[in-house]
Structure 1
Amino acid sequence: MIEIRNLSFGYTRKSLLFKDLDLSLRRGHIYGLLGKNGAGKSTLLKNMIGLAYPQAGSCSFNGINVSGRPVAVLEEVYFLAEEVFVPSLTPEQFAASTAAFYPKFSNADFYQYLKALDVDATAAMDKQSFGQQKKAMIAFGLATNTSLLVMDEPTNGLDIPSKVQFRKLIASLLTEDRCIIISTHQVRDLDSLIDTLLILHDREIVVNHPIEEITEKITFGVFNDTTGMQVLYEEDGMRGKNAIIKNTSGKFSKMDLELFFNAVTTGSNTLIQILKAD
């Protein structure tokens, strides 16, 4: 699906966001892309779809170089940017004027998603709140039925019920032929949604692992005392120590995305080494 090879990119030649970055993304997965503010998550997404041009290396979609934005790529990719800029049209008018660019667009799906997200199809989008605008564009993006769906901070501006509905819709859309990539700094919004975690840190993808594989190797828990445990990372919490320890029992625990992200981005090299071990 997506193949990035030796990608180097920077907004100036003296300061690179990525250097010799490699990444492969496959169909049938929901990827969660995490990183600190300024790490380059949005820029990486734009490189994936041809909206940014690398200084070296390449990015291809289904074997086609995305540079130049060929039609074969555009009709199979939908990108929802963090900031949405809507025209002075209603959602139904927007779909009528734009859907033709996506061969697999479904009007029936579009109205179903608008209803699920509580969006009025006949209200001018530019007169609505940012959250309503975002939901209208999410509904349109889902209805394109593209094989690659890329979303940058899609839950920004959404209230709690809308976030819950968003997660339900995304989970229902995944098929063996589709790849979904969601970038966010709101770690908890990806909880129980993604199946593969990507973490961008210090110009590298330092984590690229299925959630199931992570929880096979490490355990998350709250402990009164971690003395004598193989602690890989811990933080003080209200109920005790929130800790990541090596999984020696063979039992699975629930993934704590926020704790794991903090561990990785504060330099837990042992944790990374355990994940990379066969």
Structure 2
Amino acid sequence: MLTLKQLHFKYPKGRPILKSVDLTFASGSIYGLFGKNGEGKSTLMKLVCGLLNPEAGYCTLYGASTHERNVRTLKDLYFIPEDFELPAVSIETYEKINSVFYPNFSTDSFYSLIEEFGLFRKQGIAKLSFGQKKKVMIAFGLATNTPLLLMDEPTNGLDIPSKSQFRKILASAINEDKCIIISTHQVRDLHSLIDHVVIMDNAQIIFDQPLSNVSDALWFGRASKSEESKVLFTESSFGGKAILTRENQEESEVDLELLFNGVLTKREEINSIIKH
């Protein structure tokens, strides 16, 4: 569906942001794009959308280059950036102006989500808080029904109840024809949604695995004394939880935050075990 091949990018007079990035995204999954602040997650999203052009390499959606910003390609993707400006119009007017660009847009779905978020179609966007504006963007993005939906730090600005609501809504939105990519450094906010993990570090992709492979190869929990020698990674801040090779253990829930920190610390070891 979406292919990134040998992408290179850096800003003028800056260090390389992306180096030789190869990724393939398939429909029917929610991808978590994780990395520390400044590691190029937002830049990668903008390259996918054609808002930035790579120094080398390419990005294609259904075989067509996204960098050309062709209308036939743009109608199949929607990007919710971390920071944005919305016009001083009502929610209803915003929908009417922008929905025409997306042939599969569902007006019913949009206003159903607006209502679920506690908003009203006649509300003026300029008077909304940042979190409420983010809800408008999320509702609109989901209502476009584009095959590819990209979200950059979508939970920023949302309070705790709204984050829970967001997870529930997004879980119901995914289907076999849709691919959702979520860029975030707030790993805990999305632990129940993600089914494929991509981790960036030092301008490169250092981990790219479906969650099923992770749970098949690794076990997350508190190691017994007899298992201490098998611990791959642990931190005191995780209350004694550790990553071990699964071996004969029962399947455990994947701790995404622990996995993220483990990969940053023991990248080669963890990748070797999963790919074995």
User: Same fold, TM exceeding 0.5?
Assistant: yes
Unaligned 5+ segments in structure 2 are none
The alignment-based identity, stated in percent, is 44
Partner of 1:165: 165
Aligned partners of 2:52, 2:258: CA distance in 1, in Å? 32
Map Cα deviations across residues 144-163 of structure 1 (whole Å, 9 max, x no partner).
11110000000100011111
Partner of 1:81: 81
Aligned partners of 1:93, 1:190: CA distance in 2, in Å? 31
Shift of 1:117: 1.5
Q: 1:34-53 maps to which residues of 2 (within 5 A)?
A: 34-53=34-53
Shift of 1:225: 4.1
Shift of 1:228: 4.1
Map Cα deviations across residues 30-85 of structure 1 (whole Å, 9 max, x no partner).
10100010100000111111111000111001100111200011111110000121
Aligned partners of 1:83, 1:14: CA distance in 2, in Å? 22
1:251 is aligned with what amino acid? E
Partner of 2:198: 198
Pair 1:69–1:247, CA change in 2 (3 A): same
1:35 is aligned with what amino acid? G
**TM-score between the two structures when normalised by the length of structure 2:** 0.96
Q: Which shifted more, 31-40 or 224-233? A: 224-233
Q: Which shifted more, 174-183 or 200-209? A: 200-209
Higher helix proportion: 2
Conserved 8 A contact 2:27-2:178:
yes
Map Cα deviations across residues 3-23 of structure 1 (whole Å, 9 max, x no partner).
111111111376211122111
The aligned length equals: 276
Map Cα deviations across residues 130-179 of structure 1 (whole Å, 9 max, x no partner).
00010011111111111100000001000111111111111111111110
Q: SS at the partner of 1:269? A: helix
Aligned partners of 1:238, 1:267: CA distance in 2, in Å? 16
Conserved 8 A contact 2:223-2:231:
no
Q: 1:89-128 maps to which residues of 2 (within 5 A)?
A: 89-128=89-128
Partner of 2:146: 146
Q: 1:8-87 maps to which residues of 2 (within 5 A)?
A: 8-12=8-12, 15-87=15-87
**TM-score between the two structures when normalised by the length of structure 1:** 0.95
Pair 1:175–1:229, CA change in 2 (3 A): same
Map Cα deviations across residues 217-246 of structure 1 (whole Å, 9 max, x no partner).
01000246465441100111474x221011
Q: SS at the partner of 1:72? A: helix
Conserved 8 A contact 2:238-2:258:
no
Conserved 8 A contact 1:200-1:206:
yes
Q: 1:1-12 maps to which residues of 2 (within 5 A)?
A: 1-12=1-12
Partner of 2:259: 260
Partner of 2:269: 270
Aligned partners of 2:161, 2:245: CA distance in 1, in Å? 36
Q: Which shifted more, 103-112 or 203-212? A: 203-212
Q: SS at the partner of 1:183? A: strand
2:211 is aligned with what amino acid? I
Aligned partners of 2:93, 2:195: CA distance in 1, in Å? 35
Shift of 1:115: 1.3
